Structure 1
């Protein structure tokens, strides 16, 4: 049977071609937008939570120092990926509590310039202003003391600073001149070598042993609160330059310790060079495949029926079956009987005649050939060509008698 419909019924769809095209375009655009947002959403977190980190614009944050470093050509980088902290440039770490795990970061920065800024203020997010923080009190000493513990035990002291200038080492740059905040936080501890101290000798910035690891006790020297003073801002930049390695190209501010870290994303990797070219090539290939699937380049050609209509097709199919079975040679005798039966009806042969008498009657009919001779040739044929010739001769005999 045929697997092609005999008649095609025209049906009208619920949507037009233009409507379907618009729906496809909108759907593809929405999907691409969702993929891009999913890949880059962690990078777009503003960090405006009132915390003490490089993304915060609160008084205790350090976004002002980042913007100032960018404006003066120091190329600051805010790092969200822990694996990017292996740079040779200065890395500024801003842990916000003693619960922050510093072990892995400090091990990674073992021989590379690193500045750890201790926490100082206890604040809450200001609900009236986005990114602001409300002051509550100075953190208990146990919080900053526990940041580097137990590897580097510290003792923290709070007192009123009085706005006196801080003392530096004699060979340090002249631009590195800080003024003590009114509320001072200083540190002491084994292996801490003073770099900045107040007039009484209390340590504000210390180097840990001989390593390029520095601890800033009072974050107000670098925070947004301190950047409102031009002299403090100038001294802050000078301090970062002095701490940075020779030939440094940037200053790195870490926010992974503040909860803004992220792991490498395979999806983001596919949307950035060098893999972006492969992604675009795949997208173009899918687009072309879609166009080829929906666009027709010529009139569609109907497939042929498995079994054709009509008597001729039925005869052709029957002949094909006989030919496939290899039985052509046995059809001569049967074809001779078919021609005899047709001749009886055409010529009105008396019904009483049978067998030899019937053949004698047909031989007596006028003509160049005798029926019995042609029938014998058909019965004797075994090769398809011989059988075809005999059948054509019988057909010609009958045609001559009836014309």
Structure 2
């Protein structure tokens, strides 16, 4: 078997296979990808979608609250989706959407801790979700099928409050009213309501059942009582204990109910009732729905007081990278102070004369050496003096080139020159004459 041979031109030793621009592009692209990876690790982005069909803020199914969150964001509220338990005590309205069988002690712990820093809104669960069949068409990610209802059983959280699920009677319309607005429920067959001695109703159904209320547990909530009587804003007098609002019927605020404009208006009124104005923080909890994440070292690195050390390290990395970029390529061999060879010797001597400013002193020696070389080439007697040798060279030049400038005239012009330009021109003319006669 025979094949065609290929040849390649090897790179010289010490040559760089990449240009400076190519290496700079590689470094910048690699740095951007590293920063993107660090951001994804720190924020949890790209680590799995939270659109899982549950009754939580990231879900786009009927029971989720993605529509409510999107509406509040568009209305100017600073909305955060919290996946770290340590961030639940941040100022702002905390919205909890626990599942039916969540740990009541965990809910009580979160609510009790947050009410010292901000209001809390708890939305109860009702629906039992199931995933659509695989062969169903036009089904999007996160969509669910409502297969039943289940009242929450949160033991050790608001044990004095009882909840119940029941239909709206046939003689009643499936409507709700309160806080100055009214609307309709998407499903009259199963309505979740609550009752208890410490509840002050905010939203009631057409048959009088309490669908949303705030808890009057000893704090001064006269503002909420007035709000329940159609006052648009809330004034909380007890700053030590912030309000706790409970929405028993989830269809008032979930994606199922947010298809109606009255539910969107109700969502904002509840947020304003808690004392949060547009631009204020609203925190949606994801930890109770099993989507929590612990704080990682990367997140801590960008949190005070570690942020200062991180910035110093980044600055040092930038300086090191810049120094490496300037040093890019093979090292240069230092030149010798005195190079080898006649050419280097002449160059060093010429450089010394140029820096000393004594170029005019070169005229006489250069003319004498040119006369000696011409006298030898023309076989002139060695006994001739300088003047006689010059005239003999003039006669030899006149016999060959009558129109050429005489040798003696060139010598006088060379000796009379003072500037570098005139000196160099006279020397070149003399050198050209010498080459013509020697040929």
TM-score normalised per structure 1: 0.59
TM-superposed CA distance for 1:114, in Å, is 0.9
Of 251, 258, 263, the residue aligned with 1:227 is 258
TM-superposed CA distance for 1:12, in Å, is 6.2
Equivalences for 1:180-195 in 2 at 5 Å?
Answer: 180=185, 181-182=187-188, 183-195=190-202
The root-mean-square deviation of aligned C-alpha atoms, in Å, is 3.6
Using the alignment, how far apart are the partners of 1:209 and 1:300 within structure 2? Answer: 86
Pairing 1:125–2:131 present: yes
TM-superposed CA distance for 1:179, in Å, is 3.1
Judging changes above 3 Å, is the alpha-carbon distance between structure 1 residues 288 and 138 closer, same or farther for their aligned structure 2 residues? same
Post-superposition Cα deviations, 1:179-229, rounded to whole Å, max 9, x if no partner, equal 344121112245333332224332211322335212211100001111111
Pairing 1:244–2:244 present: no
Post-superposition Cα deviations, 1:94-114, rounded to whole Å, max 9, x if no partner, equal 001323431331221234321
Judging changes above 3 Å, is the alpha-carbon distance between structure 1 residues 191 and 174 closer, same or farther for their aligned structure 2 residues? closer
Structure 2 counterpart of 1:5: none
Using the alignment, how far apart are the partners of 2:34 and 2:157 within structure 1? Answer: 50
Using the alignment, how far apart are the partners of 2:24 and 2:93 within structure 1? Answer: 52
Matched residue of 1:97: which SS? coil
Structure 2 counterpart of 1:48: 51
Of 84, 89, 93, the residue aligned with 2:92 is 89
Judging changes above 3 Å, is the alpha-carbon distance between structure 1 residues 125 and 22 closer, same or farther for their aligned structure 2 residues? farther
Pairing 1:282–2:289 present: no
Aligned partners of 2:57 and 2:69 also within 8 Å: yes
Pairing 1:136–2:139 present: no
Using the alignment, how far apart are the partners of 1:243 and 1:250 within structure 2? Answer: 11
Equivalences for 1:2-401 in 2 at 5 Å?
Answer: 16-17=17-18, 21=23, 25=27, 31-42=34-45, 45-100=48-103, 101-111=106-116, 112-126=118-132, 128-139=139-150, 141=151, 144=152, 146-147=153-154, 149-161=156-168, 163-168=173-178, 173-175=179-181, 177-180=182-185, 181-182=187-188, 183-210=190-217, 212-245=243-276, 249-270=280-301, 275=308, 277-288=311-322, 290-291=324-325, 295=329, 298-299=332-333
Using the alignment, how far apart are the partners of 2:315 and 2:266 within structure 1? Answer: 51
Structure 2 counterpart of 1:326: none
Aligned partners of 1:58 and 1:131 also within 8 Å: yes
Number of aligned residue pairs: give it.
284
Residue ranges of structure 1 left out of the alignment (5+ in a row): 1-9, 303-403
Q: Which has more radius of gyration?
A: 1
Using the alignment, how far apart are the partners of 1:27 and 1:37 within structure 2? Answer: 15
Aligned partners of 2:91 and 2:281 also within 8 Å: no
Judging changes above 3 Å, is the alpha-carbon distance between structure 1 residues 231 and 35 closer, same or farther for their aligned structure 2 residues? closer
Runs of 4+ with >6 A deviation: 10-13
Judging changes above 3 Å, is the alpha-carbon distance between structure 1 residues 277 and 102 closer, same or farther for their aligned structure 2 residues? same
TM-superposed CA distance for 1:43, in Å, is 7.5
TM-superposed CA distance for 1:34, in Å, is 3.6
TM-score normalised per structure 2: 0.55
